Each structure stands twice: as structure tokens, then as C-alpha cells.
Structure 1
Amino acid sequence: MSSADFAPEGSTGELNTATVSVCVFCASGPVPQHYLDLAAQVGAKIAKRGWTLVSGGGRVSMMGEVARAARAGEGRTVGVIPRALVDREVADHDSDELLVVDTMRERKGLMDAHATAFLTLPGGIGTCEEFFEIWTARYIGMHRKPVVLLDPDGHYRVLLDWLHGLVDSGFATQHSLDVLTVATDVDEALDACAP
């Protein structure tokens, strides 16, 4: 099934390979204001670089902030959202392209297909699930796109400590950590997303 199968009326559904497209994974529920500010900063800087933002297609919380800021900076936004979440996450109908799919698996598949890099911001279990799946795919060679974790305030500190412990105990390899870039600064994170 191609991305054109999910494209809204009037859209070609074709991927624009002429630009960098950063898929951002982040919270879609209530978070403190400084995380909303971080998302807005990421969206604005993606737009400033002339890149496309790929998101989960919601207009609330960090997901909404990153998309609004990207559009405010004249960046292109592509949102992908399952029908079941259109009302729950309040679909971002202002997206330049909003793709509505049937399942979460289709959502992630289209987000992956539209992205040239993946950037994870602070989030909860849904964000972690997306992050781990795309990072695992990178590690086992299913793609070669950059996978970046932006952690400016230690949100993921305990998780990262645990991951290093997996290497120490033999449950993961050092190479698995080496294919992941961990950044504490937005510009550093976006630099790592560049081709």
C-alpha cells in the first residue's frame, strides 16, 4: 500500500525528496509550559532551515506547538493521524497535508516514509514506543536515517542510564547506542538530523 492510498483528495501523496523532512515524536497530552516552548522552538528552527515537519497530525500539546511554529516560520507540515484520534487529539486541519489512516501502524508507516530523519522530544509512553521502534529499525539496518533524542533537561536521564546498563549486562551492544544521537540543544539536535 503506498502513501497515495492515504492521501486526502487533491493531494498526490508523493514524497518530496528534495528537502529534509524531520519526523518529530513528542507529547500530545498536558505538559508544563517549558515543554510547549521547546516544541515551538524546534518547529521554528525546522522552518528556518527550510525543512518539512512530519508529525502525528494532532493540534494539541507539544504536537500542536511544533506544527504551529513550523507553519508560522513558513515551513511545510505533514500530519498523519488515525481516524480514531481525529477528535481525541483534535486533528491539525491546518497542516499543509493531513493524512488520515485507519491504524496506528499505518500512521507510523506513513510518518516513517515521509521522513528523512527522526527527532524525539520529551514525551510519555506513546512517544517512547515510537522512538524505540524507529531506533530499533535503524540499529538492525532497516533504514539509515538519523535517529536523534533531544533531552535538554534530563527527562530521559533514567532511561538512558538503563540503556547503558543493558550494554554493561550484555543485553544490548554498544553499537546500538552508537547509532542514536542524544542532544541537549535544539541546534545540535537538528544538525544531527541533516543528511
Structure 2
Amino acid sequence: MLSTASKFKTKDLVMVPLFVALMAIGANVTSFLVIGGVPITLQAIFAIMAGALLGSKLGATAMTVYMLVGLIGAPIFAQMKGGLSTLVSPTFGFILSFILIAYVTGKIIEKASVATFKTFLFACYTGLAITYILGTNYMYFAYITIAQAPDGFTYKMAWVWMVAPLIKDLIVTAIGAIICERVYNATKKNARGYDVAS
């Protein structure tokens, strides 16, 4: 599950559909809540966890598969949406960001000499920052260029919409870092047959 080899093992590839399913659940379990033009979802934390637990390459692969499955029409994006029309949605930048945050989160952990809780916390919050920066800026420019922006729409308004999701994500990301660190090190301990130093 924690392989960083250039070629994915069969057991690693089994994790791809699992995280695609988790992303689909996270996209819709709370997406009936909408702030401005932004559905409130749990996608960011599952994308972060994909990178943290699967590694940079497999985590990014899982998020790419999630995006492609949604684009071919499966209703796995927020509010049970899917299809190529999502490409012109102002929130498509968040979907793109999931690939990058899985990769970056995984890479930070892979590069660390010791995978401590601080490492996971830094990696997970870095991933969260990426999704907000990329997703929110994409949303703003999409509303300005290809979508119909609400009256009085400004760059500041785009960020105001993100305040409520940010509060939620700050909390769940901390919880996700705790879970990922424990699962990661427990898996290493079981694989090696001895305790991993904390």
C-alpha cells in the first residue's frame, strides 16, 4: 500500500478504485450545502489521504482516474454531476487540484527522513493550501471568462465563499493527518515485523 516504486504492484492498484469510491462519497455526502457557487464536500481530505497513504504516484493516479471517470459521465462529482460539461464548470479547478495535492502530499512524506506526525501535518496542510489556491483562483477566472458570474462578483467574493469550507477543512485535515500517520507507521511495522520509531 505504501509502495513508491516506479511500477505499481497489484495490491497497490486495488487501492485506486477504493479512493475513487471515497472521492465520490466525499463529493456528495454534504454537497447539498452550497456557499455561493461552492458545494461543501469532503473531497479535499480524501485526496490528501490518497497522497499520504498511497504515495505521490499512486495517489495522483487515483485522483486522475477519479477525474476521468467523472468526465466520461459517471455522476461522482459534487451534487451527483458528471460528464464533459464539468470542464467548463467554475469548480473544475478543484477537481484538477486533487491530482496535484495527492502528488505533493505524498512526495513530502516520501522525502522525509522520518515520517513523524509533524511531517504528516505539514504535508496534509500543504495539500490543503494547494487546493484552495488553485481551486479558488480557477473559479474566479472561470466566472470572469467562461461562466455567468453572479451580480457584483469580485475576487474578494470568491474567497469569502471559501471561508466556511476552510473552517471545516482545517479541522478534518488535522484529523486526517492523525489517521494517516498511524496507518502509515502501523503498515510499515507490520510489513517489517518490528516497531517503527515514533
TM-score (norm 2): 0.31
Question: Highest CA radius of gyration, 1 or 2?
Answer: 2
Higher helix proportion: 2
More strand by share: 1
TM-score, scaled relative to structure 1: 0.31
